[in-house]
Chain A
Amino acid sequence: MSNRLINWFKFASPATFYPLAEKIWRWSTLIAVVLIAVGLYMSFFVAPTDYKQGEGYRIIFVHVPAAWLSMFIYLVMAFWSVVGLVYNTRLSAMMTSALAPTGAIFTFIALWTGAFWGKPMWGTWWVWDARLTSELILLFLYLGFIALQGAIDDTRRADRAGALLVLVGVVNIPIIHYSVKWWNTLHQGASVSVSSGSSMSSIMLWTMLIMALGFWAYSIAMAMARVRCIILERERDTTWVSELPEVRQ
């Protein structure tokens, strides 16, 4: 395993990942602040008014990136769960726990901003159509994961139970994504897709992509900050933690 270009397994050790996480955290915080500032400025002042919805459509610049992230973070959690269950690595379970609150917040933001948009555009805050309901189930999966992990005192058992819950819930992600295609829903179809391009004007699309990248950087920054805390908490009895400058003083 030592003949590879980069030995990825080196970073599976919390002791080597801890300083790397600090670097990633610093850089991604900076990127997130810049991108979200630019994205919000474009959302409010650069992007033109929509031909039908007027100014109210601007909520999509937060709604759509938040909804993308809510699904993507869950997939990343599922990836770390598989790695954790297969290789029995400690760090992957820590990553799963570190990502969950950010995913839950983005799911909540997607639902909340969606309700704000739905009231003036559709005429209702909430309907039980397939897209909205499956996204609500995603919020319950995030909250269920956090609660389950918190309820089990033994960390190794908590990690495994949490990983199993995440993997069972992963079937929900394609359902959310394809719900607007498979069934008649009140929610509109995707405006942006890999296969058929975009049905938005380009300046609106760019604004949304910049916001999405900003949210990505924010998620990475939050996950790194949180995973550092989890590492310190779980490894507090080891010598490398007691020798850290921030711990010694």
Chain B
Amino acid sequence: MKARHKRFGFIAAGLVGLGLAAWLVLNALDNNLSYFFSPTEVVENKAPADHVFRLGGLVEGGSLQRGQELTIRFVVSDGANRVNVAYTGILPDLFAEGQGVIAQGRMGEDGVFIADEVLAKHDENYMPPEVAEALDKAHNQATEATN
């Protein structure tokens, strides 16, 4: 075994050890590295009940209510579960029904999430408006055909 093989062995072993250590740390931290909790996690009581956390999901279609003054109410859902949210403040441009959203705040006693900050979450799709319209149309036709 030449000296350079030995050095290569040391480096490879070092990198494997380092990778293992990083993997263990990340595993231990697990959910603490997540930026938000999903509605399912909230319903399963995995989200902290007594302090501020972030809730993320889609704004459910037809759930947006603009109430008195500046308070708006909407439902955040992940398909399986839903959480009611109330928010007083200015919404980002991309906020809309059916759009991803992340709200920061705490659970109220009545089960309504009181948000003090709302961020829009964008998805990975990029397309021109004509394509989006065509996709919408195709989707509607497909649902009509099945009904």
Contacts and interface: CB of A to CB of B under 8 A. Distances in A.
Interface residues of A, number: 40
A139 interface: no
Contacts of B76: none
Nearest to B21: A171
A175 B131 contact: no
Interface residue SS majority, chain B: mixed
Interface stretch (A19-27, A50-58, A66-74): A50-58
Interface string A182-193: 111110111100
B11 A86 contact: yes
Contacts of B26: 175, 182
A245 to B, nearest CB: 36
Nearest to A204: B126
B15 interface: yes
Interface residues of B, number: 41
A77 B124 CA distance: 30
A184 B124 contact: no
Contacts of A144: none
A122 interface: yes
A182 B132 CA distance: 29
A186 B118 contact: no
A100 to B, nearest CB: 19
A186 B126 contact: no
Given A167-B14, A168-B18, A49 B35 contact: no
Interface stretch (A91-99, A123-131, A149-157): A123-131
A199 B38 CA distance: 24
